[in-house]
């Protein structure tokens, strides 16, 4: 099943005081009366990421010298009981390359999801942020429920292989029953393996963790760079603590006014636009497009491939086959970034010849599966945060009524986006609101960067976020480009505006456009 960005946030009242002795991923350190804002972090060399973080090797030395450092910060399990049981949150940092006199403080990153490990993610982008490191310590973290921070764990690797191979776009009653049953099995496994954590992974909890982190790191203001879901987290922080916002940038911006259904429909439109742009790009090149004679032909052939895979999967990565669901996930993953368009073209060429290996590897990347068959916990964490945040619950009858609207938004992706809405239907924790409150009167300016070709967080969301933050707070900047996000496009105009604000406090004029 495609794992997409149904990004919503809300508050959830805690239901109980939990005993650490029976709480997986949480512990009683004997310090219930400790003021956690006064804790001292013990920074050490970072270990290799564990399975929940995605595996791999320990981070390489920094581009201009120095080593990544990791530490553990304690936070309340239940922010309604701040003197109660604690959880461990994993942090990573790169000390500033500049002088202490020029150092502004820490710049905290969140890379989205929800469910992305910042501890594993920040080093992979380290070189992109070297300019920002001249005046900041670069810091990221595994939010609660993610990676090494009290991770939400659901099904095992073998079960997840089957889960992501299932038919995510049922055509009849039997297939609908299978989809509902498999979704319930996944959700039941989450409750069984992580039930004590599930009421406490909402975005408001993570925002309060951010403010604790700010204090522990010794900063009077929170300097923040959020991507995708990280923009929602940043918006919720600004709403809760407007006077504590320092210099903040939101990139690949979530529309905070949409409920889950509206968000899914917007993504259907966004990924369809990205597919249209991909097809046009392929046929516009001087050499012949290898996957179609016209943009419409490219899309028709992809639709035919997916239709055939529904009943006749082809070899993928042995021993798994490329199903319709896996192929759809692989295509969606490639549409996140223009850098992957050539890979998508090659994957489609091979699939037309009966080899689904490239599309399967793209699908694995979408779902957090490593080459050794182990999954990170990003899907589990994504589901837990999304379902705790979002109040609406959708059943199969509702989805069936909405299918025509979703298909009109995207003939190729509409069905999968619509059926994805049942993911929270049997969730153990009630959601709390349709959408987050990000109003932040009195906050410092927040630079909101929208990309006109963004498939996952459509461009219109940037304006909605800027407006919702409030007059004088949200400052919108437009990038006319492709892919999910703008800063990592290497566009000099975008990076100049962002760096100018974060490093020198220069707010670009509202409505600035970068091409």
**Secondary structure of residue 88 in the 3-state scheme:** strand
Nearest by Cα to 406 from 209, 276, 206, 260: 260
**Phi then psi dihedrals of residue 147, to 5 deg:** 60, -120
Using CA atoms, how far residue 170 sits from 183, 310, 389, 418, 420, in Å, is: 13, 10, 27, 11, 11
Q: How far apart are CA 150 and CA 86, in angstroms?
A: 10
Give the catalytic positions in this structure. 228, 454, 484
Report the DSSP beta bridge partners of residue 27.
Answer: 86
Q: What is the DSSP string of 3-30?
A: --------------PPPGGG-TTEE--S
How far, rounded to the nearest angstrom, does the alpha carbon of residue 444 sit from its chain's CA centroid? Answer: 25
Q: Which residues of 196-205 are buried (b: 16+ CB within 10 A; e: fewer)?
A: bbbbbbbbbb
Q: How far apart are CA 279 and CA 287, in angstroms?
A: 14
Radius of gyration for the alpha carbons in the chain, expressed in angstroms and rounded? 22
Long-range contacts of 491-495 (CB under 8 A, 24+ apart): 494/449, 495/131
Nearest by Cα to 74 from 11, 139, 141: 141
Evaluate whether 8 touches 386 at the Cβ level (below 8 Å): yes
The owner of tokens 């669901």 is 325
Evaluate whether 229 touches 8 at the Cβ level (below 8 Å): no
Longest distance between any two alpha carbons in the chain, whole Å: 69
Q: Helix and strand tally (H, E) in the chain?
A: 15, 13
Identify the burial level of 207 via C-beta atoms within 10 angstroms of its C-beta, where 0-12 means exposed, 13-18 middle and 19 or more buried.
Answer: buried
The owner of tokens 């004088």 is 472
Nearest by Cα to 142 from 378, 492, 350: 378
**Phi then psi dihedrals of residue 276, to 5 deg:** -60, -45
């Amino acid at each position: 099943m495609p794992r997409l960005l149904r990004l919503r946030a809300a508050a959830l009242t805690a239901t109980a005081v939990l005993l650490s002795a029976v709480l997986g991923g949480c512990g009683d350190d004997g310090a219930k009366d400790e003021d956690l804002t006064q804790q001292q972090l013990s920074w050490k060399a970072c270990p290799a990421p564990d399975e929940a973080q995605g595996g791999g090797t320990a981070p390489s030395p920094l581009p201009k010298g120095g080593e990544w450092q990791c530490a553990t910060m304690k936070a309340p399990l239940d922010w309604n009981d701040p003197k109660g049981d604690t959880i461990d949150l994993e942090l990573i940092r790169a000390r500033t390359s500049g002088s202490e006199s020029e150092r502004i403080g820490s710049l905290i990153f969140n890379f989205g999801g929800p469910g992305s490990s910042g501890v594993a993610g920040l080093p992979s982008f380290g070189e992109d942020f070297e300019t920002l490191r001249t005046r900041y310590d670069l810091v990221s973290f595994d939010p609660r429920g993610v990676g090494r921070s009290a991770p939400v764990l659901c099904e095992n690797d073998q079960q997840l292989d089957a889960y992501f191979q299932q038919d995510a776009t049922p055509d009849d009653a039997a297939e609908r029953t299978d989809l509902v049953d498999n979704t319930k099995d996944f959700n039941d496994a989450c409750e069984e393996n992580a039930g004590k954590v599930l009421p406490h992974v909402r975005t408001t909890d993570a925002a309060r963790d951010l403010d604790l982190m700010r204090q522990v790191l010794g900063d009077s203001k929170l300097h923040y760079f959020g991507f995708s879901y990280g923009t929602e987290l940043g918006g919720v922080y600004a709403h809760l603590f407007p006077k504590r916002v320092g210099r903040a940038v939101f990139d690949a911006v979530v529309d905070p006014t949409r409920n889950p259904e509206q968000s899914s429909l917007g993504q259907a439109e966004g990924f369809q636009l990205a597919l249209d742009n991909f097809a046009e790009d392929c046929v516009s090149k001087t050499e012949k497009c290898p996957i179609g004679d016209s943009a419409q032909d490219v899309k028709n052939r992809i639709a035919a491939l997916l239709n055939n895979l529904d009943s006749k999967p082809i070899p993928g990565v042995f021993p798994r086959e490329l199903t319709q669901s896996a192929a759809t996930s692989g295509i969606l993953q490639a549409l996140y970034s223009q850098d992957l368009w050539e890979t998508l073209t090659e994957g489609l060429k091979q699939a037309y010849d009966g080899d689904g290996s490239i599309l399967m590897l793209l699908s694995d990347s979408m779902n957090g599966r490593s080459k050794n068959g182990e999954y990170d916990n990003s899907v589990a964490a994504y589901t837990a945060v999304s379902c705790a945040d979002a109040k609406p619950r959708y059943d199969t009858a509702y989805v069936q009524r909405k299918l025509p609207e979703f298909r009109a938004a995207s003939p190729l992706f509409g069905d999968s986006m619509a059926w994805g809405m049942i993911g929270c239907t049997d969730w153990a924790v009630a959601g709390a609101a349709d959408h987050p409150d990000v109003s932040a009167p009195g906050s410092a300016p927040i630079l909101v960067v929208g990309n006109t070709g963004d498939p996952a967080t459509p461009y219109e969301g940037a304006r909605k976020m800027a407006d919702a933050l409030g007059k004088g707070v949200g400052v919108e900047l437009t990038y006319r480009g492709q892919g999910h996000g703008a800063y990592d496009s290497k566009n000099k105009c975008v990076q100049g505006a962002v760096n100018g604000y974060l490093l020198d406090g220069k707010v670009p004029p509202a409505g600035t456009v970068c091409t």
